[in-house]
Structure formats: structure tokens, C-alpha cells
């Protein structure tokens, strides 16, 4: 486990540079989760570290496989200085713990909801999980372990989350694209959904 996390942290540093802050959160009955903060110009990126220590298990399986199964970490990018986004550390750790706590498999296209604003004054309580392979390349591990995927999180307003449940993730991404939505704006309004 420690070896996997060391490799994951090295891959994060390769893709995002040196972290300028880190915080650790431990939930009762789970492993320790860290959130690292990376600053790149006017963009701040928050990346989880610890979610990939164990593979995500199928919640219907009688026994969780300790080696096989998808592994991931989460990456959130926001513009700096418009909101107190450093308060997102605990909600991100909650999302990273969800596979262990709730038996979820976090995959692209999924919605994750923390039930409260991601940071003070945020118009978002949930995120859309995007495809990996952009900012940070997937990390191959020795077989039979699956690669660690670094999944970007795209904040969604409650209206966008409800619309996505009906129309799907691809349709919401298309709306954002067609509207020229700045998904890194920590205070952005909902995209027009009529």
C-alpha cells in the first residue's frame, strides 16, 4: 500500500509540480487520506492521495479483492483568489473515502455529492467525474493490479446535477462546451438548461 501511494505521489509531482500545501484527514474505520494543493499561475489544483491505496470493490461482491479492481485519485482545478477554495479539503477527502465507506466505484460519468457547498459560498454541492489521462497520466502498476487513474472533478450546480441525471454526463459536458463555460470558476452560475 505504501509503495503504491509513493508512486502515486511521484506521478502527481511529475504532472503538477511540487505541492505547496497538504492536509490529512482520517475517518473512523478508513485509511488516512491526504489532499495536496498545487498552484499553477492563477489555477489551484487539489489532488487526493490515499484513495488508490486499495482497489475499489464491487459493492455486490461477497469479498473484496485486495489486489484486483480499479484504482483512482481525484483532481479538482479552480481559479485562485475568487473564493476560499482551500476549504474544499475535507469534502475532497470525503469523496476519496467513498469507495471504502460506501462501497462505491468512482468512474468517469459518475456524480458525487457531498450534501453541502464544496467551499464557503460555493454554488456546487456535487461534482461530475471526468475521464482520466489529461493533466496527470495514468500510473501503471505491476500486474494483476489495475492502473491508478487521476480523475478530474467538474463542480456541478444542483440544477446541473439534476439535469445530468435525466440527460446524462455527455449531454451536460456538451452544454458546458457550447456555452463556453469556465469550469474552473469557483463562483460560476449554472449553464442554461432550457
Per-residue pLDDT of the chain (194 residues; tens, 9 = 90+): 559 999 999 999 999 999 999 999 888 777 889 999 999 999 999 999 999 999 998 766 767 777 888 999 999 999 998 899 999 999 999 999 999 888 889 999 999 999 999 999 999 999 999 999 889 999 999 989 999 999 999 999 999 999 999 999 999 999 999 999 999 999 999 999 87
54: helix, coil or strand?
coil
Q: Which residues contact 163 (CB under 8 A, 6 or more apart)?
A: 171, 172, 175, 193
- Decide if 129 contacts 112 (C-beta within 8 A): yes
Residue given cell 497538504 in the structure block:
22
Nearest Cα neighbor of 9 from 28, 43, 36 is: 36
Amino acid at each position: 500500500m505504501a509503495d503504491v501511494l509513493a508512486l502515486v505521489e511521484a506521478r502527481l509531482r511529475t504532472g503538477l509540480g511540487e505541492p505547496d500545501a497538504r492536509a490529512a484527514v482520517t475517518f473512523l474505520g478508513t485509511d488516512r487520506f491526504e489532499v495536496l494543493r498545487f498552484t499553477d499561475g492563477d489555477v489551484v489544483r487539489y489532488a487526493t492521495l490515499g484513495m488508490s491505496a486499495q482497489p475499489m470493490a464491487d459493492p455486490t461482491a461477497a469479498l473484496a479483492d485486495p489486489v484486483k479492481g480499479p484504482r483512482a485519485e481525484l483532481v479538482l482545478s479552480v481559479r485562485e483568489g475568487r473564493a476560499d477554495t482551500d476549504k474544499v479539503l475535507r469534502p475532497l477527502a470525503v469523496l476519496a473515502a467513498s469507495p471504502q465507506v460506501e462501497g462505491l466505484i468512482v468512474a468517469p460519468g459518475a456524480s458525487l455529492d457531498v450534501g453541502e457547498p464544496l467551499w464557503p459560498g460555493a454554488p456546487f454541492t456535487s461534482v461530475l467525474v471526468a475521464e482520466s489521462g489529461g493533466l496527470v497520466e495514468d500510473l501503471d502498476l505491476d500486474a494483476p493490479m489495475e492502473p491508478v487513474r487521476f480523475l478530474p472533478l467538474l463542480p456541478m450546480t444542483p440544477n446541473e446535477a439534476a439535469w445530468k441525471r435525466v440527460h446524462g454526463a455527455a449531454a451536460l459536458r456538451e452544454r458546458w462546451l457550447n456555452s463556453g463555460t469556465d469550469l474552473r470558476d469557483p463562483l460560476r452560475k449554472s449553464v442554461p438548461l432550457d
